[in-house]
Amino acid sequence: MRNQLAIALVAALCGCASLPPVQTDHLALTTDEYQTLIDAAHRPAADVARDVDRKPAELMQFAEILPGEKVGDEMMGGGYLTRVEAAVVGPKGHVYAYQPDEFIAFRAAYADDQKAIAAALANVTAVNGPLLAQPYPVPLDTIITVQNFHDLYLKDRPPGTPEKVAANMFAALKPGGTLVVVDHRANPGDTNSPNEFHRIEKDRVIKVVEAAGFKLDAESDMYANPQDPHDISVFNKAIRGHTDQFALRFRKPG
């Protein structure tokens, strides 16, 4: 799907006004084009209010998602990103919104959120299962996981959980597919940060994801915040919603 024919079809797929011309060497749309797709969707007002911090158009460009693609929303949480992805892939694409059993056991409302999104959006399928299982029913173009990778290191997770999840995502992607990981930044060497502060070291993520077979393709500082001290919980009122985060794009060879 990463070709100019797909890009030329964006306006038709989203059912909105014609989009500006795209440079022929682009692998992704411009942020304005992504924003047009997102704005054309009927999203909750609460989601729209979060856009200033979540930067959905910038994230979609970084992930290089195009209309018509199949995308996995890994550990979808409340579904903010699921709705963004559904708007971008359009009616010819599909989003597989994965809510792990462990997350639902922790917060039952996650199941309700997932069911509501899948019922409301024809191009979203809800998928469930334990973290150590591979949940996706079809090969995917892209998987995105936002503010969740650190949860794989919580003390109640079975040993090897991060490695197994990374391997499952690698297997779920088509050759050449991409994995995007966004998470709250921890101080270097702070290995207990996932449990204490709900953060993780960037290099720790890179190490385990590359060990699964991925190659680091790009980094982005779109969520950088130098005022974040990194040694307080992401739920602390002083920093909640404004943490310093890293964004990494990995590619599956092929």
The C-alpha atoms of residue 72 and residue 96 are separated, in whole angstroms, by 5
Phi/psi at 183 (nearest 5 deg)?
A: -155, 165
Enter the tokens of residue 156.
């109640």
Cα–Cα distance, 88 to 40 (Å, whole number): 10
Report how far residue 108's alpha carbon sits from residue 130's, in angstroms, rounded to the nearest whole number. Answer: 15
Q: How many residues does the chain have?
A: 254
Residues 6+ apart with CB under 8 A from 49: none
How far apart are the C-alpha atoms of 29 and 21, rounded to whole Å? Answer: 10
**Which of these ranges, 1-5, 73-77, 201-205, has the smallest mean pLDDT?**
1-5
Confidence check: pLDDT of 242 > 90? yes
Query: What is the tens place of the pLDDT at every residue in 122-150?
Result: 999 999 999 999 999 999 999 999 999 99
Average of per-residue pLDDT across 57-72:
97
Residue 26 has pLDDT above 70, yes or no: no
Whole-angstrom distance, CA of residue 53 vs CA of residue 71: 22
pLDDT at 140: 98
pLDDT at 194: 96
Percent above pLDDT 90 for the chain: 89
pLDDT score of 28: 79
Average pLDDT value for residue range 169-179: 98
Is the per-residue pLDDT at 105 higher than 90? Answer: yes
The token duo for 179 is: 């994995």
Considering the chain, what is the average pLDDT of its residues? 91
The domains found in the chain, sorted by start residue, are 4-251 (3.40.50.150)
DSSP string, 1-19: --SHHHHHTHHHHHTSSPP
pLDDT at position 4 is: 44
